[in-house]
Structure 1
């Protein structure tokens, strides 16, 4: 597990960039937190650091936005806040064959219909800033947190 204090939007962007620069070839990231906690901001920063050009739209209404990656494949950004039943995901065509990176906001609303998380990011408001807690959900996630700690100085707490 790793915790990071994010005093402002620039710090959130820096964490997104650090995650992008250390990410594995294929990964699933579940983003947890209340409305306004910074989940979409972090996802946008990560996608931008991966070279996504043009508008990076919030998938609040579309549920999923797909972005081509320079190295091939796609990154998918999902926002499941508006899902009332996990079975609704069957209609989105989430086969995932070409997906190299899943960024899933409100993943608990898609339980049983999403791939398991390699990395879970818990975002919370703390005064004027945010707290980000990163938890590994797989060996891939644990290695990712280790690379992040070494390369970008994100403190590992356990």
Structure 2
């Protein structure tokens, strides 16, 4: 599934749709250049899952943990690590998190659980392009629920129609 996100409201709509359709356990790999919108999308998803207060970027801490109604979400930003072995010091136990949001997952290759869903983000004009790539059975089912999500379709259609650049 590929989506054009003309503004932050559209990115929030995608985050809400991801939250509303997510499986009980999920690993999401967020890929894209600096400024592509990975943290913005992660923040929107976490907010839609009920996270209150500040949602900090884990750029310097490497991992931020957030309580959810059904477990815990971990937001990782691996941009600053030099080797996947550095993740051993973070005390990450796959069984503890119900949701993993991993930015720059290629830097932790071999030390991370496999993705259920990879989201590639890229700047396009004034907006962002999001490409959702299911990578497991749970990811394929999640993608199907997203594709059928009428609220997401309405929101993105509305934002696309409002987009003066005519993307869509």
* TM-score normalised by length of structure 2: 0.89
User: Which structure 2 residues correspond to residues 49-128 of structure 1 after superposition, within 5 A?
Assistant: 49-71=48-70, 73-128=71-126
Question: Unaligned regions of 5+ residues in structure 1, if any?
Answer: none
Task: Provide the rounded CA distance (Å) in 2 between the counterparts of 1:146 and 1:46.
Answer: 18
Question: Unaligned regions of 5+ residues in structure 2, if any?
Answer: 158-168
**What is the Cα-based RMSD across aligned positions, in Å?**
1.2
Q: How many residues align?
A: 153
Task: Provide the rounded CA distance (Å) in 1 between the counterparts of 2:144 and 2:95.
Answer: 27
In structure 2, the residue matched to 1:48 is: 47
Q: Offset of 1:98 from its aligned partner? A: 1.9
Task: Provide the rounded CA distance (Å) in 1 between the counterparts of 2:56 and 2:69.
Answer: 18
**Matched position secondary structure for 2:65:** strand
**Matched position secondary structure for 1:15:** helix
Whose radius of gyration is greater, 1 or 2?
2
Task: Provide the rounded CA distance (Å) in 1 between the counterparts of 2:119 and 2:56.
Answer: 20
Equivalent residue in structure 2 for 1:143, among 117, 141, 144: 141
Measured against aligned partners, the alpha-carbon deviations of 1:53-72 in whole angstroms (never above 9, x if no partner) come to 1100000000000000012x
